[in-house]
Structure 1
């Protein structure tokens, strides 16, 4: 039996790693492995772990847990993984060190939750505009990197991170000596997810992120597909929803972003991976973002900088601090953008479309929907008043205490487009996704191509499903 179990683990890891496998082959293998591979029955996780967290069960961890290189941790649907923490020290802000493969397979009917014990109280406090505890940084997040080189493992390979229909929230606890000081200096806030493996896949689909202290997700390399997610209220006085660095290549599309501290989506080739950062960002909806950043000249909805390249099409920018931002040190010749809609409540916001902190002479897209007149091009969301965000002074920095919850979180809002919206039918559908991820079958990406309507929600029902 022990020999058979080892063989099953080998097959699972191989199925995740080999891009040449046929979809039918993966699909036939994976259901049995998902159900039988090393079921974890104890509700308390600690130390080194691997195997399957079972559907509908709740698990707890109060100290760091580690998945070794070559091993897999898989969450079936309906799993609650709860950090018992207070965020005051590295020891009491536990982290998931993921040196192998991480898979969270929530579903629309049974989503997974990776959160903290007092999550309901924190959500309620945020709704009452008590943002202090929301941005406190309660646990250490998920850190996906290859393990350190050792004599017994001289060439660690790391693994994929595949996350579907999963809530991840309230990361940001202080880093400690167990963290790699190259990216997490002791005392610094950690992220909800940190991914750094240039040869592996980061697939995040149909998931929710809330309440990170700094960056929500940061990548230092990887083949990415980040589709149809919801990002809300991350970063106290700085931090991005998605901060992508050198070696990050892929697609970011159909994401709903509201209330970022700095950029919603940032791409920079900073780092030394040897692979240029190249990401297509299309059909995203970005609302009320960029205002809590206290540093001068920052806060784009989409930001390309430091030799990064890619395409930004079919996006909705609504009351964002700088909207489209391309800095002079980006790979300007290989950054293209068009078919984006810009909306600003005030003169101060409209006056910064394309002009502030972008390279001199950045041209507007020929098919952009943009105006120099305030409150023009209202996207006409089905259930959200864009003029609730009514700051008229020079925008930013604005502390969280001045931002009503309704302008930084989804709540009961509905960001689908009404039939009269100027964003209907204005999308560019000729753009091709980069489609860089190599995982297939159950573990592969479901890539939604560019849509005919602008933003994350399509009038034909495709796109973001939240």
Structure 2
């Protein structure tokens, strides 16, 4: 990182000598982070690309673009990058990252990686019309080391660092893209990251409208903090799917309307590093109802040798609660202080998935009967949909927008919520990412309140 990134921010020192007072006036410029040359053309022609997309500008790409090994592509704040495509063959571009990709949006000036018809697709989602939302207009981001060649026998790959960025409507079918990852015809993921030695940092960002998994990792040191996931997966797919080699923390994420699980950890994938992920203080609502396979689809799933800590998660009206299979690394999984809410007896019966081995813990909070112990979100009615009549699987066409998207709802906790001060806080994040400075992770420690939104102002900032 340090060898390829540099800040061209200069501190401007202006000394003004007044005739009478001879005072020194010091003016400090706002730092502007840049890597390599500025990209001036709004049309990215495809092929190899590196440098800096400039703040406030809009860029377009209609062909695959590649960040080569050793190169960096950086988005300053307030950049919009538009994929021009419709998901058909030769019109489904993706971003292939063999080097380093950085998107440095801010709360005031977020970045967008989206499509031309984004406003229309959002309006359709708000009206519960999902055909365009799930069609996959572009291929997503694929971050792996470059193929080994004689010229580059040991490609290293790079980090992916994304902050305050909207990533929308990826998931186009693969047309021979990345054969080691996708079969022809398979939907691509919003983000695919596979590099055990590198960092994947996702902070304060939004993943919206993916055809399959919002994000899948096969290896990497991760820090996934304070993000929002909506409408991930048409009929299958997780918001975040972690495989072998993935190690790190996921906390303070808001996840709503996933097809299958909100979060899944599995040691499948064939790397030499065990999947070890802490999941704490996340909020999951209405997840798992589009998955058609029996026993799948819910909130948090640990299987096939995965390990980690699972604390302080708020799981409301998800088809299944915590699922730990017999082949997970049960010896090295610790869990407690989950909050389970269900508006029907059927949901209550699967707070702990019946085909798993998770047990009720001493500090868990859960509905004793349907609609008992409502967590009391500020402005969201958990009981507005008839889950008794629609127990799942439910096709997307039958799902109103208020159970798949946030809209104008507020999932913060009212002052009288039972979730206040019910968290476990005497454990530490793994904090394994190594990137520092402007590009490093801001890791939020376990909070006092269960879920992603904290009454002290920490946690999810959306």
- TM-score, with length taken from structure 2: 0.93
Q: Deviation per CA, 1:73-110, whole angstroms, max 9, x where unpaired?
A: 00000000000101012x21001111000000000000
| d(CA) in 1 for partners of 2:180, 2:457 | 44
1:11 offset after TM fit, Å? 3.3
Q: Say which of 388, 391, 394 aligns to 1:392.
A: 388
- Mark the CA change 1:394 to 1:150 in structure 2 (over 3 Å): closer, same or farther: same
Report the counterpart of residue 21 of structure 2 in structure 1. Answer: none
Q: Say which of 438, 443, 446 aligns to 1:442.
A: 438
Report the counterpart of residue 11 of structure 1 in structure 2. Answer: 3
Report the counterpart of residue 50 of structure 1 in structure 2. Answer: 50
CA contact (8 A) 1:348 1:394 kept: no
Per mean C-alpha deviation after superposition, the further-off stretch among 199-208 and 186-195 is 186-195
| 2:329 is equivalent to residue 331 of structure 1 | yes
| 2:60 is equivalent to residue 64 of structure 1 | no
Q: Say which of 200, 220, 223 aligns to 1:222.
A: 220
- Mark the CA change 1:151 to 1:256 in structure 2 (over 3 Å): closer, same or farther: same
Q: Deviation per CA, 1:123-171, whole angstroms, max 9, x where unpaired?
A: 1111111111110011000100000000000000000000000000111
Report the counterpart of residue 20 of structure 1 in structure 2. Answer: none
Report the counterpart of residue 12 of structure 2 in structure 1. Answer: none
2:55 is paired with a residue whose SS is coil
| d(CA) in 1 for partners of 2:420, 2:35 | 47
1:112-151 to 2 correspondences below 5 Å:
112-151=111-150
1:221 is paired with a residue whose SS is strand
| d(CA) in 2 for partners of 1:110, 1:340 | 34
CA contact (8 A) 2:34 2:74 kept: no
Which protein has the bigger helix share? 1
1:336 offset after TM fit, Å? 1.4
| d(CA) in 2 for partners of 1:135, 1:37 | 36
Runs ≥4 residues deviating over 2 A: 9-15, 34-37
**Which protein, 1 or 2, shows the higher relative CO under an 8 Å CA cutoff with sep ≥ 6?**
1
| d(CA) in 2 for partners of 1:116, 1:168 | 9
| d(CA) in 2 for partners of 1:61, 1:153 | 27
CA contact (8 A) 1:349 1:394 kept: no
| d(CA) in 1 for partners of 2:34, 2:152 | 29
| d(CA) in 2 for partners of 1:350, 1:237 | 23
- Mark the CA change 1:97 to 1:36 in structure 2 (over 3 Å): closer, same or farther: closer
| d(CA) in 2 for partners of 1:210, 1:36 | 28
1:296 offset after TM fit, Å? 1.0
1:376 offset after TM fit, Å? 1.1
Name stretches of at least 5 consecutive residues in structure 2 with no aligned partner.
8-29
CA contact (8 A) 1:288 1:389 kept: no
Name stretches of at least 5 consecutive residues in structure 1 with no aligned partner.
1-8, 16-29
1:12 offset after TM fit, Å? 3.0
1:13 offset after TM fit, Å? 4.3
CA contact (8 A) 1:258 1:409 kept: yes
Q: Say which of 286, 289, 303 aligns to 1:288.
A: 286
| d(CA) in 1 for partners of 2:395, 2:185 | 23
Report the counterpart of residue 364 of structure 1 in structure 2. Answer: 360
1:31 offset after TM fit, Å? 4.8
Q: Say which of 420, 424, 427 aligns to 1:424.
A: 420
1:289 offset after TM fit, Å? 0.3
Report the counterpart of residue 86 of structure 1 in structure 2. Answer: 86
CA contact (8 A) 2:278 2:309 kept: yes
Q: Deviation per CA, 1:5-42, whole angstroms, max 9, x where unpaired?
A: xxxx9733499xxxxxxxxxxxxxx956x236200000
- Mark the CA change 1:36 to 1:306 in structure 2 (over 3 Å): closer, same or farther: closer
1:127-276 to 2 correspondences below 5 Å:
127-177=126-176, 179-276=177-274
1:35 is paired with a residue whose SS is coil
Structure ID, larger Rg: 2
Q: Deviation per CA, 1:175-196, whole angstroms, max 9, x where unpaired?
A: 122x221211122111110000
| d(CA) in 1 for partners of 2:5, 2:438 | 13
- Mark the CA change 1:35 to 1:355 in structure 2 (over 3 Å): closer, same or farther: closer
Per mean C-alpha deviation after superposition, the further-off stretch among 294-303 and 219-228 is 294-303
| 2:299 is equivalent to residue 307 of structure 1 | no
Aligned residue pairs: how many?
440
1:275 offset after TM fit, Å? 0.5
CA contact (8 A) 2:321 2:353 kept: no
Report the counterpart of residue 18 of structure 1 in structure 2. Answer: none
Q: Deviation per CA, 1:300-329, whole angstroms, max 9, x where unpaired?
A: 201100000001100100000111111111
Q: Deviation per CA, 1:260-294, whole angstroms, max 9, x where unpaired?
A: 00000000000111100000000000000000001
| d(CA) in 2 for partners of 1:349, 1:71 | 49
| d(CA) in 2 for partners of 1:457, 1:371 | 20
Report the counterpart of residue 111 of structure 1 in structure 2. Answer: 110
- TM-score, with length taken from structure 1: 0.92
Report the counterpart of residue 21 of structure 1 in structure 2. Answer: none
CA contact (8 A) 1:234 1:260 kept: yes
| d(CA) in 1 for partners of 2:368, 2:375 | 16
1:333 is paired with a residue whose SS is helix
Report the counterpart of residue 378 of structure 1 in structure 2. Answer: 374
CA contact (8 A) 1:348 1:393 kept: no
| d(CA) in 2 for partners of 1:14, 1:108 | 23
Q: Say which of 425, 444, 448 aligns to 1:452.
A: 448
| d(CA) in 2 for partners of 1:203, 1:324 | 25
